[in-house]
Amino acid sequence: MPQQSYPEKVDISNCEKEPIHIIGKSQAHGVIVACNKENLQITQIGRNTDEFFGIPYNDLLSKNLSALIGEKAANELGKEIRSGKQLEAREFKINEVEFIAIPHISGESLIVDFEPAMSDLNPFKYQRELSNILNTLGASESPEELCFDVARITRNIFGYDRVMVYKFDEEWNGEVIAEEKTDQLESWLGLHYPASDIPRQSRELFMKHRVRIIGDVNYSPVPLEPELSPINNDPLDLSRSELRGVSPIHIEYLQNMKVGASLTAALISNGKLWGLLACHHYSSKIIDYYHRQTCEFLTQIFSNELTLKETNLYIKKLEEWGKIRDELVTQIESESKIKKGLTDKKVIFTDLMDCEGGALMLNNKLRLVGETPNKEQVKALIRNYLSGKSEAVYFTKNLSKFYSPAEEFTDTASGILSIKLGRSNNDFLIWFRPEAIQKVNWGGNPENKAGYDEEKQRITPRKSFKKWTQNLTGVSDAWLDYQISAAGAIRESLGSIILEKQKLKIDNLNKQLMRAHEELELFSQGLSHDLKAPLRGIDGYAHILKEDHYNELEKSGKKAVDTILSSTKEMGELIDNILSFAGVSGQSLDKQIFSVNHLLEDIMETFNIRVNYSGTTVKVESELPRMMGDKRMIAQVWSNLIVNALKYTEREDEPKVEIGCMAKDNKSVYFVKDNGIGFDPKFKEEIFDLFSRFSGSNFKGTGIGLAIVKKIIEKHNGRIWAESEPGKGSTFYFYV
Ligand code: ADP
C-alpha cells in the first residue's frame, strides 16, 4: 500500500494526525541529499543546493554522491553502509566551503544532511563543557535542583534567551518546572501548557531524534526534488533528519509566541518521555552539530541523574512505608478480626498513605476512618462503580470526572485509591483525598487552543500566551508511583492473611457442626431411651386389660385395647429404629472377615423366614465372596434389605427374592433382588433419606431402615444404590 503523503491542508483541527515525518521539506540552514543506499545515486535533493554548494539541484539529481564528496569518501561510506555500522558525521569541503555531513539510513535511502561547518571544534573547550555538565548535574541534590541546574548549564553553554525544563503530566499536559532567562523576559515558570501544544506524533519523534533545532522560525521551507522517492514512490521519511522541515502549525505557534529560533531536547526517564528541555531565542540562532551532540550528552546525563534521584526517593519512601506495612500485617495476624487489625490498633491503614480518610468494606460491613463521604455514599460508590472495575488497584485524582455522584463529596473524596480484597468484588480498602485547592496557571487559556483566521482561511493555533489562571475543582493531589505500589503490596499481604483466616473459620465451623451433630445424636438416643419406659408401662397395662378384663369390655372397648397394643408395638419399633440409627455414628467399627453365606443363614433363622414367608422363593447364591467389615452392622444391612424385599413382594402371586453378587470395577457388588411392588426411579436417592416412605399405608414401616443401611455402608466407605420400576420389582446393590 503506498504511504499516505503529506496533506494539502494542515491546521489545528487535524494536527494530531499531521504526518510531520514525511513533510517533504527541509529547513533553510542546510541541504538534504537522499541517495539510493545500494549505489549512492542521488534520488532526491533540497532545491537550495545552489546557495550552499554553488551547483543547481538539477545538475546533481541522478548523479552519484561522489560528485559532492569525492570518490574516496563515497566508497568509504558505501562500505560502512554495507557493514551495517552506525554512520558517523564527517566533514567535507565542497567548492571551498567546509560542511558537516550527517548521514543516516531511512528505509531504502541514505539521507545526508549537509550543514556549513560553523566553528572548529576546540577539544579543550569541548572537554571542559562535558566535565562541567557531569560535575554540576552529579552534585544536584534533588530532582528539583537538578532541573534548575540543567536549565542554567544549558543557557551557559548555548546562550539561548530562555531555557525551560518542561515536564509532562499523566495526560501529557506540560508544566514549566525550571527556567533560566534573560532579565527582560517575563517568567513562564509554573505555567502549564495543554497536551495539544505538543501533539502525540511530535512526542514520538522526540523519542527517535532527541535534539532538534529550528534555526529560524521565519525561514522559507525548502522543498525536496522530486517530492516522492523514485525508489519506491513513497514520501521520504525524515524522522531522523537534522534538517527536517517544521510543521507549519508549530511555526505559527512559535511565531505567535514571538520566538525566533528554538532548540528542543527530549528528557527521558525509565525509557519514557518525561519532559523536554525547551530553549527559545528571540532572533534566529543555529547551534552546530557538535554542540547539538553536547546537548544530547547533557540530556542523557540529566536523564540518568533524574532516574537515579527518583529511584532513591522511591526506595526511601518504600522503606518508610514498608515499616508501617509490617506493623499493620503483624497487627492483623495477631487479631482474630481483620477489621480490628486494620482500624483499631496503634497503626491504622490510613497511615499508609498521605490521605485524610479511608474505608474498609469487608463481608458487607463498612468501617469509615477520618474524613470520608457518608456510609451510603461509600456503599453506592463501591456498588455502582468500584465493583465493576477489573483492576485490582484503582486510583484517580478526579473521581467526579468518571463517577458523577462524586461531585457531592469532592470535599472529602476528590481522589481515591482503592484495592480489591481477595477475589470478592465487594470487599475493598479505600483511601480518600480531599479536593486540593489547585490554581493552575496556563500559558494562555487552554480552552482556546485555536482560532479561525479569515485571511488564511484555516484554524490557527492560539495567539495569546498570557498567564491564565484556572481554579481546578474536584481534583486532589496526584497519587504517586510508590503509593500505588504500596497499595498493591498491602493487597497481596492482606490477600494471604484473609485466605488463612477464612480457612481457620471454615475449620472452626466444621468442628462446631460435628459437635452439634454428636449432641443431636446423644439427644435423640436419650429421648428414645426415655420414651421406652412409659411405653413399656402402657404396653404392660394394656396386656393386663386384655388378659384379665377383656371379656368385661364392650366391642368398642375391646377395639381400643387392641389398638393400644398394636400402636405401642409400632412405637416400640420406631424407637428401636431411631436408637439404632443414632447409634451407628457413635459406634466404632469392629472389623473382621466373615462368611456372607453363614451370616445370611443366621438371619433366615432369626426371622424364621422359611416359616413366616413360606410362599416366597428365597434364592441365595452359594459361595458368596466373604466380606470384611463390622459383622454386627453388616448383618443389619442384610436383614433390613431382605426384610424389605420380603415385605414389598408379599402380595405378589409368586413372590421371589434373589441374593447374589457380581464383580464390577474390581469390586464384589452384592445385591438383593425382588419381584415386588417396586418404586418410581425418581425416588431412587430419596428412599435412603430418614423417614421417607413411598409405599403408601398398605405396607407398615417407619422409613428408617434404608437410612440406617446407607449410614452403615458409608461408615465402611462403601456405596449403595437401587434400581427399580413400579410393579416390576427392585434390586438393591452395595459394596463395602
Ligand atoms: P420402610 O420402613 O418404610 O420400609 P425403609 O427405609 O426400609 O422404610 O424404606 C424406605 C422406602 O423405600 C419404603 O417405604 C418403600 O417405599 C421403599 N422401599 C424399600 N425397599 C423396597 C423394596 N424392596 N421394594 C419397593 N420399595 C421399597
Q: Is residue 328 part of a domain?
A: no
Calpha distance 29→292 (Å, rounded)? 15
Confidence (pLDDT) at 1: 35
Dihedral class, residue 666 (left if φ above 0, else alpha if ψ from -120 to 50, else beta)? left
Cβ burial 631-654 (10 Å sphere, 16+ → b, else e): bebbbbbbbbbbbbbbbbbbebee
Q: Which residue's CA lies nearest to atom 23 of ligand 1?
A: 645
Q: Is 694 in the pocket of ligand 1 (CB under 6 A)?
A: yes
Candidates 682, 687, 710, 724: which one to mutate for ligand 1, based on the most atoms within 8 Å of Cβ?
687
Q: Is 136 in the pocket of ligand 1 (CB under 6 A)?
A: no
Calpha distance 679→189 (Å, rounded)? 92
Candidates 618, 679, 690, 698: which one to mutate for ligand 1, based on the most atoms within 8 Å of Cβ?
679
Last residue of a domain, one of 536, 555, 586: 586
Same domain, 397 and 496: yes
Q: Is 695 in the pocket of ligand 1 (CB under 6 A)?
A: yes
Last residue of a domain, one of 586, 604, 639: 586
Q: Is 701 in the pocket of ligand 1 (CB under 6 A)?
A: yes
Same domain, 394 and 408: yes
Q: Is 202 in the pocket of ligand 1 (CB under 6 A)?
A: no
Q: Within the chain, how many helices (H) and strands (E) appear?
A: 19, 29
Confidence (pLDDT) at 457: 47
CATH at residue 601: 3.30.565.10
What are 700's three cell numbers?
407398615
Residue 618 CA, ligand 1 centroid: distance in Å:
18
- The minimum-distance atom of ligand 1 relative to the CA of 688 is 6
Residue 594 CA, ligand 1 centroid: distance in Å:
27
Q: Which residue's CA lies nearest to atom 13 of ligand 1?
A: 693
Q: Is 396 in the pocket of ligand 1 (CB under 6 A)?
A: no
Which residues in the chain come in under a pLDDT of 50? 1-4, 10-12, 452, 457-459
Which stretches does DSSP call E strand in 389-499?
393-396, 415-420, 428-433, 438-443, 450-453, 458-461, 467-472
Calpha distance 535→439 (Å, rounded)? 91
Task: Give the amino acid at 219.
Answer: Y
- The minimum-distance atom of ligand 1 relative to the CA of 676 is 24
Calpha distance 46→223 (Å, rounded)? 6
Task: Give the amino acid at 312.
Answer: N
Residue 692 CA, ligand 1 centroid: distance in Å:
8
Q: Is 574 in the pocket of ligand 1 (CB under 6 A)?
A: no
Q: Is residue 358 part of a domain?
A: yes
Same domain, 185 and 278: yes
| Contact present, 462 and 450 (Cβ < 8 Å) | yes
Q: Is residue 269 part of a domain?
A: yes
Distances (CA, A) of 569 to 158, 573, 580, 691: 115, 6, 17, 18
Q: Is 657 in the pocket of ligand 1 (CB under 6 A)?
A: no
Q: Is 705 in the pocket of ligand 1 (CB under 6 A)?
A: yes
Q: Is residue 453 part of a domain?
A: no
Same domain, 571 and 596: no
Q: Is residue 408 part of a domain?
A: yes
- What H or E segment, with its residue span, contains residue 402? helix 399-402
Backbone angles phi, psi at 219, to 5 degrees: -75, 165
Residue 399: strand, helix, or coil: helix
Backbone angles phi, psi at 322, to 5 degrees: -60, -35
Q: Is residue 455 part of a domain?
A: no
Torsion, Cα 648 650 653 659, to 10 degrees, reads 70
- Give Cα 663 to chain centroid, integer Å: 53
Same domain, 353 and 407: yes
Calpha distance 166→177 (Å, rounded)? 6
Distances (CA, A) of 215 to 139, 224, 471, 570, 602: 32, 18, 37, 113, 115
Same domain, 51 and 22: yes
Residue 644 CA, ligand 1 centroid: distance in Å:
6
Q: Is 708 in the pocket of ligand 1 (CB under 6 A)?
A: no
Same domain, 78 and 171: no
Candidates 642, 683, 706, 709: which one to mutate for ligand 1, based on the most atoms within 8 Å of Cβ?
706
Same domain, 74 and 180: no
Q: Is 706 in the pocket of ligand 1 (CB under 6 A)?
A: yes
Same domain, 572 and 521: yes
Q: Is 655 in the pocket of ligand 1 (CB under 6 A)?
A: no
- Which residues neighbour 14 within 8 Å (Cβ) at sequence distance 6 or greater? 7
Q: Is residue 716 part of a domain?
A: yes
Beta bridge partners of 721: 733
Same domain, 304 and 418: no
Which residues constitute the domain of residue 686? 591-735
Residue 560 CA, ligand 1 centroid: distance in Å:
29
pTM score, two decimals? 0.57
CATH at residue 388: 3.30.450.270
Same domain, 142 and 255: yes
Counting the structural domains of the chain, the total is: 5
Q: Is 658 in the pocket of ligand 1 (CB under 6 A)?
A: no
Q: Is residue 700 part of a domain?
A: yes
Same domain, 296 and 172: yes
**Beta carbons within 10 angstroms of residue 628's beta carbon:** 12
Q: Is 577 in the pocket of ligand 1 (CB under 6 A)?
A: no
Q: Is 676 in the pocket of ligand 1 (CB under 6 A)?
A: yes
Calpha distance 544→55 (Å, rounded)? 144
Q: Is 675 in the pocket of ligand 1 (CB under 6 A)?
A: no
Cα R_g (the chain), whole angstroms? 47
- Which residues neighbour 666 within 8 Å (Cβ) at sequence distance 6 or greater? none
| Contact present, 416 and 430 (Cβ < 8 Å) | yes
Q: Is 71 exposed, middle or buried (0-12, 13-18, 19+ CB in 10 A)?
A: exposed
| Contact present, 708 and 577 (Cβ < 8 Å) | yes
Last residue of a domain, one of 81, 116, 151: 116
DSSP state of 64: B
